[in-house]
Amino acid sequence: MPGETEIYEAQGFGNSVGIGDAPALLIVDFVNGFADPEMFGGGNIPEAIAATVALLDFARARTWPVAMTRMVFADDGSDANMFTAKVPGLLALTETSIAGQIVPDLAPMPGELVVRKRTPSAFFGTDLVPWLTARRIDTLFIAGCTTSGCIRASVLDANAHGFRPIVVTDCAGDRAPGPHEANLFDMGQKCADLMPFAEVAAHYDSNARAAAQ
């Protein structure tokens, strides 16, 4: 009986979206509450945050546009929705709450977009699409958490809006390994490319060397 990968290959899945000419970096929900295993964190999220520090430095050195997301709800919970019906604790992520702030190691710099959202996707009900299109972005490198939740939702919407989504695998985290691995596999087969940070860096370093010759 064929294995999972062979089944997908036989049906034509798993092709590459490729890297375009105008990249940006999207960091999804690396806030204090998701870094805390006592709140929404756990699993490999701390390691993914640590790996994203180098990715963010890499993007800034190349002047890529950078966007980061936060879950932000009203202090009085008046904007509660179906997501918070499933996970009521998310209502604690307000504008001023410590849990809702981007982790200090990835603090945004002036000119970087901070997207406030109330659903898993970085795109739904936000101004991320016009911000990216105004900068003629065609490729979106995506880091953050959780792989099975907000990363997946953001990848699906990036794909639907015509961006090339590339999940930087060692910079994506989840609170449990099973959902993390399963969703990486599924996204890689259907809607995104998967690349560790070292491969991303090698791609641009090799292009820079070729251009210098």
Residues 112 and 65: their CA atoms lie apart, in Å, by 7
Residues 123 and 101: their CA atoms lie apart, in Å, by 19
Q: Is the dihedral of CA 117, 191, 173, 55 positive or negative?
A: negative
Q: Do 13 and 189 contact (CB within 8 A), yes or no? A: yes
Known active-site residue 191: no
Query: Annotated catalytic residue: which of 145, 150, 171, 191?
Result: 150
Task: Tokens for 45, please give them.
Answer: 């999220």
Pure H helices in 76-196:
82-86, 128-134, 152-160, 177-190
To which H or E segment does residue 205 belong? helix 197-212
Active-site amino acid positions: 150
